[in-house]
């Protein structure tokens, strides 16, 4: 069961009004106009709980993966749309049990043709996390259904 949902934030204008921090694309169907493009970062839970990695190192893995996916697919229209308004970028950090479950998530994304980057920490050669290209949550289907919000 998914326990995560996309977060919506607002910002205050100079006039003191609250405005959504994302601008829906006018070319999307009405049902998807309120849905923001989001990078989904899936990080192995066992890095901290079993392998005793410090929290800072784990956060860095997610940063590496999300930066890599943006650079790798920089010419994709979804990435261009996502990076066109820096203040409205959305990311969701999810956790998965271990390396095997991370690789299964990667396979699920491949089968659904959802671009992503699997970060492999070097020189240890350890797959630590993956990040999707900026996508609509509805485009994921059940590819990440076994993931929960990272805690």
The CATH number of the domain holding residue 55 is: 3.40.1490.10
CA distance 106 to 122: 19
β-strand pairing of 10-12 with 18-20: antiparallel
Q: Is residue 142 part of a domain?
A: yes
Q: Is residue 94 part of a domain?
A: yes
Q: 57-91: per-residue pLDDT in tens? A: 999 999 999 999 999 999 999 999 999 999 999 99
The count of structural domains within the chain is 1
pLDDT of 56 reads 97
Q: 14-38: per-residue pLDDT in tens? A: 555 544 444 444 444 545 556 899 9
Q: Is residue 7 part of a domain?
A: no
pLDDT of 35 reads 82
Q: Is residue 1 part of a domain?
A: no
Q: Is residue 21 part of a domain?
A: no
**pTM, full prediction:** 0.78
Q: 84-142: per-residue pLDDT in tens? A: 999 999 999 999 999 999 999 999 999 999 999 999 999 999 999 999 999 999 999 88
Question: For residues 131 and 40, is the Cβ–Cβ distance under 8 A?
Answer: yes
Q: Is residue 77 part of a domain?
A: yes
Q: Is residue 125 part of a domain?
A: yes
Domain that holds residue 131: 36-149
Contacts of 112 (CB under 8 A, 6+ apart): 140, 141, 143
Q: Is residue 31 part of a domain?
A: no
pLDDT of 14 reads 54
């Amino acid at each position: 069961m998914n326990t995560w949902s996309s977060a919506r934030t607002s910002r205050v204008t100079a006039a003191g009004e609250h405005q959504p921090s994302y601008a829906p694309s006018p070319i999307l169907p009405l049902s998807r106009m309120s849905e923001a493009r989001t990078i989904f970062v899936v990080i192995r839970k066992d890095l901290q709980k079993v392998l005793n990695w410090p929290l800072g190192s784990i956060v860095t893995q997610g940063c590496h993966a999300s930066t890599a996916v943006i650079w790798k697919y920089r010419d994709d229209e979804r990435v261009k749309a996502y990076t066109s308004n820096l203040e409205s970028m959305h990311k969701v950090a999810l956790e998965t049990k271990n390396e095997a479950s991370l690789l299964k998530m990667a396979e699920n994304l491949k089968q659904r043709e959802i671009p992503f980057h699997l970060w492999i920490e070097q020189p240890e050669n350890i797959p630590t996390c993956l990040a999707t290209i900026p996508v609509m949550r509805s485009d994921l289907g059940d590819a990440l259904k076994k993931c929960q919000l990272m805690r």
